[in-house]
A and B are shown apart, each in its own frame.
With several copies, the nearest count.
Chain A
Amino acid sequence: MHLGVVRFPGSNCDDVAYAARSCGIGVECVWHDETDLARFDGIIVPGGFSYGDYIRYGAVARLSPIMAEVARFAERGGPVMGIGNGFQILAESHLLPGALLRNEGLKFVCRTETLRVEQSVCRWFDLPAGEVVEIPVSHGGGHYYCDEQTLSRLQDSGQIVLRYSERDGSRLPAGCAPDGSLDDIAGICNERGNVFGLMPHPERAVDPLTGGTDGRAFFTAAVKHLAGTGG
């Protein structure tokens, strides 16, 4: 089991690498100019502020050589997960539908949020639908947006993976998502379920001392899945 964590200038690759390792996964940080990902069983595009998020969230990172490789990796069915800024980069790269806009309140938010796992085709993730987890968010541009057709397609084909929710898993009242996300969406995947993007940071919840342990499932699930597919 070997995951690659992409490192752009400004990304917090170390946090994800540490979290994955602490869940027993072998990881390696990969510099953004690399073009060979063959040795990896999965790729994580981590959070942070790649290129300062100048111009648009993820706009510059998307143009780096490694992202073309990540696209090919995903095309071949390889598992790719984008966290926070990584989600923004995957959306900019059109590996995931829609876009991430500035938070509705225009303010950065850092706090622990409750998420409900939706029934989805996401292969990064094997928590049962309806399960509720507590994961920190930390972003200024996590407002998920897509047009109506895309939204119903996401719904119909099980591509909505995570929603911000109440503690008991019920839907939030309108306008209560931390970033104003459309339909309270916190994470989505592509149709095949191998590319997954989420704004919350599971890597910040792998240690009871610093943020809880609900995030571990995001990494251990990958291990199980990847082991199951012979990766």
Chain B
Amino acid sequence: MARYEVYVTYKEGVFDPPGAMAERVLANLGFGGVNSVSVGKFIEIDADADIESVRKMCDQLLANPVIEDYRIIVAGEA
């Protein structure tokens, strides 16, 4: 059983509504110096599967290639 971590982020140039909102609200809350915030997904998968199939899971379900990139990390045995 392996533990995979998948990071799903918006592609460059895609508008990120939660990120943009967070930037605005953080500034309102008085946090100076925040240049940018982006909000993506952090998906943890425990599976008896190789990284190739995890890639397929991402392509088919977990990410939308039109707007998102993803990165998979093998985080060890689960």
A interface residues with partner B (beta carbon < 8 Å):
51-52, 54-56, 59-60, 63, 91-92, 94, 98-99, 101-106, 143, 145, 147, 180, 182
Given that A52-B21, A106-B21 are known contacts, is A145 also in contact with B14, CB under 8 Å in the complex? yes
A103-B17 in contact (CB<8A) = yes
- Among A54, A99, A103, A180, which residue has its beta carbon within 8 angstroms of that of B67? A99
B residues within 8 A CB of A147? 13
- Once the chains are docked, how many angstroms separate the CA of A180 from the CA of B14? 13
Partner of B18, one of A99, A106, A180, A182: A106
Partner of A180, one of B17, B61, B62: B17
Max chain B Cβ within 10 angstroms of own Cβ: one of A54, A55, A91: A55
Nearest CB in chain B: distance from A56 CB, A: 6
Least Cβ–Cβ distance between A82 and chain B, in angstroms: 16
Provide the bound-state CA to CA distance between A106 and B22, in Å. Answer: 10
Complex Cα gap A105–B18 (Å)? 8
Pair B64/A145 contact, Cβ less than 8 Å: no
Contact residues in B for A54 (Cβ distance below 8 Å)? 17-18, 21-22
Give chain B nearest CB distance to A127 CB in angstroms.
29
Contact in complex: B60, A55 (CB < 8 Å): no
Cβ A101 vs Cβ B67 within 8 A: yes
What 1/0 mask marks residues of chain B from 10 to 43 whose CB sits below 8 Å from any chain A CB? Answer: 0001111110111001001100000000010000
Known: A55-B39, A147-B13. A98 touches B66 (CB 8 A): yes
Could you tell me how many residues of chain B have their Cβ less than 8 Å away from some Cβ of chain A? 19
- Across the interface, do B17 and A102 meet the contact criterion of CB distance under 8 Å? yes
Q: What CA separation (Å) do A94 and B25 show in the bound complex?
A: 19
With a cutoff of 8 Å between Cβ atoms, the chain A residues found around residue B16 in the complex are 101
B25 near A143: Cβ-Cβ < 8 Å: no
A180 to B20, CA, bound (A): 12
Q: Report B-chain residues with C-beta under 8 Å of the C-beta of A143.
A: 15, 17
Contacts of A91 in B (CB 8 A): 66
Q: Which residue from chain A places its CB closest to the CB of B8 in the assembled complex?
A: A56
Residues of B within 8 A of A99 (CB): 64, 66-67
Chain A residues contacting B62 (CB-CB under 8 Å) are 55
Give the complex CA separation of A182 and B15 in angstroms: 10
In whole angstroms, what is the CA distance A102 to B15 when docked? 10
Sample (28) of A-B pairs whose CB atoms are under 8 Å apart? A51-B21, A52-B17, A55-B21, A55-B22, A55-B25, A55-B39, A59-B61, A60-B21, A60-B61, A63-B25, A63-B29, A91-B66, A99-B64, A99-B66, A99-B67, A101-B14, A101-B15, A102-B17, A102-B18, A104-B15, A104-B20, A104-B21, A105-B21, A106-B18, A106-B21, A143-B15, A147-B13, A180-B17
